[in-house]
Amino acid sequence: MLPFEKALEITTSSVRQLGAERVDIVHAANRILAEDVKSDMDTPPFSKSAMDGFACHRADLANELTIVETISAGYVPEKTIGPNQCAKIMTGAMVPAGADCVVMKEYVERSTPLEISPAFLISLRPVKFLTGSTEKTVRFVGEQTVDNICRKGEDTKAGGTVLHKGAVLRPQHIAILASVGNTQPLVSKRPRVAVIATGDELVEPMSKPGPSQIRNSNSIQLVAQVENIGAIATDYGIAKDTTCDIDSLFERAVVENDVVILSGGVSVGDFDLVPQILEQHGVDLLFDRIAIKPGKPTVFGVSEQVYCFGLPGNPVATFVLFEILVKPFLYMLMGHRYRPCNIQMPMAECIKSKKTERRRWLPVAITEAGTVKPVEYHGSAHISSLCRADGLISMSVGVAEIEEGMTVQVRLI
């Protein structure tokens, strides 16, 4: 049996890029950048106030200051701040020339009532803060250590790289694209993925199973997993356990897709026909067994036209194999090196395994105490166990026990 790490290396090293295309920014979520993105301007494009307050010169903080202008967001200041002058300014507004700091409005008071002095004189005053139950008085004069100014270009400089090739475009990345005017990002083409289920016992989810039958949950699960990472999935239905039926669906799928995923029919039974059918279609099988549980009878092959995965029919095995093997491969096809979200947590209880010749994957839940514990799990057909799980942990080959309190790596799902 092939070690899992070697199987992963074989799949990802077999990748051929699918090319790139430009898409409108409103349709770019979850796509993979195919080029670095550079800023077309400084960000912020001007020095702006981080507070509602008064823009002034630090050297004048101990003096009475005359308001010479009110500056709102979107307004270009008309006056330069001179000695003992200031401008009333709003959050996000452009800082006027001559000002090197903004004093929060909470730290300012009028020297004389407005009806007596139209000159709008202001001065700094002591401010009371409540810290717990202790009243603390701070004299602001001479203690202005923060400018409260977002300086021009402090986030990014014009021509600087703001996003790198291979990034998955999440909402925050879409915002960056918009901020630099990149409304037609170049992204990798999405792989077209065919999903085929095999098995005489299977019926579609809308059908009532008869004696010895079960509903096909694998296909709809795999379609959801494929689409969740931004690829294009098509469900080709169920193939009976006959060479003719599997061959017919596979021939259609090869013509229309970049990747074909088959579930079931990959073990060593009399009706496990998938490996030989793949070979008959010129698919070079690079492996057909992996030293993992669940998922030992997993097949991967390539031809000039298509990549093929043959996954076990049990739904937990199908789910796990997609997460740990197929997902990194599909991301690589789109130019992204996938790194799963792993967290380190202590075990809430001991786990033991009688057989240690294969790397074992187990569903676990995160507890309120900040530990992880196994969920009730009856084996690779027990798909409902994953609905109670937050992640997966693995027991390496040769490891028979994980002790209570031992730190484990949890792969979030």
Check which CATH number belongs to the domain holding 277 and give it: 3.40.980.10
Structural domain ending residue among the three candidates 307, 333, 359: 333
pLDDT of residue 131: 37
Average pLDDT estimate for 326-336: 97
Q: Indicate whether 346 and 285 sit together in one domain.
A: no
Assess if residue 25 is contained within a domain: no
Q: Does position 115 have pLDDT exceeding 80, yes or no?
A: no
Q: Indicate whether 308 and 360 sit together in one domain.
A: no
Q: Indicate whether 39 and 184 sit together in one domain.
A: yes
pLDDT of residue 271: 66
Q: Indicate whether 260 and 395 sit together in one domain.
A: no
Q: Indicate whether 382 and 403 sit together in one domain.
A: yes
Assess if residue 27 is contained within a domain: no
Number of domains in the chain: 4
**pLDDT tens digit sequence for 136-184:** 332 334 344 578 999 999 999 999 999 999 999 999 999 999 999 999 9
Assess if residue 158 is contained within a domain: yes
Q: Indicate whether 172 and 196 sit together in one domain.
A: no
Structural domain ending residue among the three candidates 299, 333, 367: 333
Q: What angle do CA 296, 300, 306 make, to 5 degrees?
A: 155
Structural domain ending residue among the three candidates 279, 303, 333: 333
Q: Indicate whether 182 and 38 sit together in one domain.
A: yes
Q: Indicate whether 309 and 220 sit together in one domain.
A: yes
Q: Indicate whether 307 and 225 sit together in one domain.
A: yes
**pLDDT tens digit sequence for 9-31:** 999 999 998 999 999 999 999 99
Enclosing domain of residue 258: 4-18+190-333
pLDDT of residue 213: 94
Q: Indicate whether 299 and 394 sit together in one domain.
A: no
Q: Indicate whether 260 and 322 sit together in one domain.
A: yes
Assess if residue 218 is contained within a domain: yes
Assess if residue 29 is contained within a domain: no
